[in-house]
Amino acid sequence: MACLLDLPSELFFEIVKLLDIGGKINLSSTCKFYRAQLLPEIFKTIRLTIDETSATSARTVVETYGQYTKTIEFICQCERDDRATAPSLLPAACEVLKGHFTPNLRTVKVKFDFDLDNEANEVYQDFDFHEDANYTRETELRDKWRALMNETWEALVANTLIIELILDWFPPKWTSTYRTDAFRQFLNQLESATINIFGFEDYSGVRTNTMVEYCQFLAKLDTLFFRHMRGLKCLHIQASDPLGYAEEATSIPLALKPGDLPLLQSLTLENCFVCPELISFIQSHAQVLKFLDIDECFCEHGSEMTWAKFFDEIYEAKPRLTELLAGGNKAPFLFDEMPNWEANDAVLLMRQKLEADSTLKIFRQMHLDPDEGILTVNHDKTVERFNRGDDQRAYDRLMALVNENRQSLT
């Protein structure tokens, strides 16, 4: 009778890849061979929460099998109105985050889930006033979610093994740890970072990007984070509220400066405006940046910045990009959303061009309402610039250079 043990090792591991974690655990319990082969897979990623059972279990696992662990996923979770305890982060969770017993750890993912976007909350409660160091510390002594944020960062910065950091639902709020040398040294050791920035709209229709403190915090990401990431090679920013728009007091400029991230090779931006700050950053990194993904970015329809201007200025810097993603793989709006589009000659012309040439891109023109913070597509301007073709021509010229760079490597 055929047996898995009789299979070539390459085929065995291909089959193992199809199993979920439960299947791998069950298979590992059948014999010593499978156990030896599957231990690195089973304990490659350790997940935990602030719950005592979860944290204690995770610590117990890494004490025995931590040499196999390369990734830790931590859900930092509590209710917004919970009161702080001492400590708020359990010692077991703290030890795991510090990298105790995990000599091969490389990646930590932290999801901050504090119920800040609960429909009962109002935006101004957390994002409408200035914080100094004393106020930050007072909130960390009073509110559990603020204490958890700070204690989580305190544990992370003590971990010298982490080279990839993934922050999910990252709250734009100060912690006491941000003001320490240890925090800046920690940032310097990172090679890859993903930041999914938290933002929401409350029940009254007010968005976080209409709050001065929210905007000012994100405007300082340069001095707070990026300036100290001297070894970073990959950066991915997912913005809940658009970055890169600086026309109003409560707007959020893109906090990437020419001197930041000197080794950066890969940059992905989502929900950001193409803007002068982005141009300056890319120009200053023209010789090191290889991958640029602005697929989910857009242009402010009322500004002097156009997609054509953006592509042309990048082209003039003669970048060494070998991959560029822009324009999106899906239409930025549904024609059905446009009233009577069938009678709109400009829209009909656009559709005809798209049907005739599948390589054409639609570069989005958006509008940000400075009072409500709401982002909308400017359909008419998007159609107009598509039919004019300036953006496409500038994109094609830049892409020709990108393709030439890529071919030179083969």
- pLDDT tens for 266-305 read 999 999 999 999 999 999 999 999 999 999 999 987 778 9
**Sole residue written with tokens 């509008």:** 367
Asked if 165 contacts 189 with a C-beta cutoff of 8 angstroms, the reply is no
Fill in the DSSP letter of residue 18: T
Residue 280 lies in a domain: yes
Cβ burial of 351 (10 Å; 0-12, 13-18, 19+) is middle
- pLDDT tens for 343-371 read 778 888 888 888 899 889 999 899 898 88
For position 394, which CATH number holds?
Answer: 3.80.10
DSSP code string of 198-219:
---B-TTS-BGGGSHHHHHHHH
Furthest C-alpha separation in the chain = 74
**Sole residue written with tokens 């897979």:** 41
Question: Residue 161: which residues within 8 A CB-CB, separation 6 or more?
Answer: 99, 102, 103, 104, 105, 106
pLDDT band for position 25 (50/70/90)? low
Which one of 110-119, 241-250, 323-332 scores highest in mean pLDDT? 110-119
Question: Residue 254: which residues within 8 A CB-CB, separation 6 or more?
Answer: 243, 244, 272, 273, 275, 277, 278, 281
Residue 134 lies in a domain: yes
Residue 18 lies in a domain: no
Mean pLDDT of the chain: 89
Of 18-22, 162-166, 276-280, 399-403, where does mean pLDDT reach its minimum? 18-22
- pLDDT tens for 60-96 read 999 999 999 999 999 999 999 999 998 999 999 999 9
Alpha helices in 212-332 (DSSP H): 212-219, 221-224, 276-284, 307-316
Residue 20 lies in a domain: no
Distance from chain centroid for Cα 210:
21
What is the model's pLDDT at position 233?
98
Stretch 147-157: mean pLDDT: 98
Residue 68 lies in a domain: yes
pTM of the predicted model, to two decimals?
A: 0.91
Residue 162 or 131, more confident: 162
Residue 333 lies in a domain: yes
Stretch 173-178: mean pLDDT: 98
What is the model's pLDDT at position 188?
98
Residues 307, 312: Cα–Cα separation, whole Å: 8
Residues 388, 382: Cα–Cα separation, whole Å: 10
Strand positions, DSSP E, 284-338: 291-300, 323-326
Residue 318 lies in a domain: yes
Q: How many C-beta atoms surround the C-beta of residue 18 within 10 A?
A: 7
Domain hosting residue 82, numbered range: 44-408
Q: Which 3 state secondary structure label does DSSP give 25?
A: helix
pLDDT band for position 252 (50/70/90)? very high
Residue 36 lies in a domain: no
What is the model's pLDDT at position 111?
98
Burial letters 22-58, b for 16+ CB under 10 A, else e: eebeebbeeeeebeebbeebbbeebebbbeeebbbeb
Residue 1 or 173, more confident: 173
Structural domain count of the chain? 1
What is the model's pLDDT at position 1?
40
